[in-house]
Homo-oligomer: A and B are copies of this chain.
């Protein structure tokens, strides 16, 4: 399963589908070792699922997969979507045992284990479940909660300012932090800002490599609010598609993005959008970039969102911290990470 998890990581972090890895093992040799017949992983929507990829690899090497075991990081799917059902492919290949780390929560894709069992395949689950869930947390969250995983990014001074009193905000954080933020953009499905932020900062919302080129994957660019963008806005330039949602209803925003199969939304501002999401408990993860600067005045990252007393403030659970030059990134989640 550890190998299958490693294979899964070769897939893209973004996209509508989860990252999945699969290892096909033959019957034990006299030494007790089980030969690896084939390995596979999912490369993104429209390409073969990990199980089918592993079966193809085994066949390409001339291996007989009858009686083999499939070790896969996620329950094999049961439905025909962009590709055929993996449960059927495994049955057709004569696989007799399947070990999967976590069940598929999808109402249409789930049920593969049941189908396999009905055809006489033994199916076990639960090995490395925490790691497997962590690997697919955005997708899993979206299928479970019917909305994207929402990461709120802030870039502030130590006293919580996103700009000085005169509005200057470039750059609060340093090069290392900004480079890191671009690597995160290259892993998400969509980035949202308000029209206010779009009009004030004229951001491009592109994912760029450290040398300034556009990254291979560009997230959907989402602008939330009623005002029009000027024709020469950088958001109209090169980058991901632009979606202008003329609403202030964050539930509507997330429902629309869910229809777009957005699994991971990165919210980069402004303070009113952050506040609205927090009001409704719709932020799953914080990325707080902090620069060692004090301003004493200036706008803050989040508008008031209904907290009047400390006991009512949600406590976030810090997952990691990164030193980025003189700056710091604190990553925290609304719910504690399951111990791996």
Contacts and interface: CB of A to CB of B under 8 A. Distances in A.
Interface of A: 154, 156-161, 163-166, 168-170, 172, 275, 278, 286, 288, 290, 292-297, 300-318, 321, 323, 325-328, 330, 332
B301 A159 contact: yes
A288 to B, nearest CB: 5
Residue of A159, A278, A308, A311 contacting most chain B CB atoms (<10 Å): A159
B156 A160 contact: yes
A169 B308 CA distance: 11
Best-buried of A170, A311, A332 by chain B (most CB within 10 Å): A332
A314 B293 contact: yes
Given A172-B310, A294-B278, A158 B159 contact: no
Contacts of A288: 158, 290, 292
Contacts of A164: 307-310, 312-313
Chain multiplicity (copies) = 2
Contacts of A330: 158, 290, 292, 328
Given A294-B278, A296-B305, A311-B168, A326 B318 contact: yes
Contacts of A325: 318
A315 B296 contact: no
Given A160-B156, A166-B308, A313 B326 contact: no
A297 B307 contact: yes
A169 B168 CA distance: 30
Contacts of A290: 158, 288, 290, 330
A278 B159 CA distance: 13
B157 A158 contact: no
A318 to B, nearest CB: 4
A263 B308 CA distance: 40
A168 B309 contact: yes
Contact of A315 (B300, B317, B318, B326): B326
Nearest to A322: B321
Contacts of A300: 159-160, 296, 300
Contacts of A165: 304, 307-309
Given A292-B318, A293-B315, 20 more contacts: A160-B160, A163-B310, A165-B308, A168-B309, A172-B310, A288-B290, A288-B292, A290-B330, A292-B315, A293-B314, A294-B301, A295-B307, A295-B310, A295-B313, A296-B303, A296-B304, A296-B307, A297-B308, A316-B326, A317-B326
- Most B CB contacts (10 A, CB to CB) among A160, A294, A296 go to A294
A313 B157 contact: yes
B154 A156 contact: no
Contacts of A316: 158, 292-294, 326
A327 B278 CA distance: 20
A156 B157 contact: no
Nearest to A323: B321
A292 B294 CA distance: 18
A234 B316 CA distance: 32
Contacts of A326: 315-318, 332
Contacts of A166: 308-309
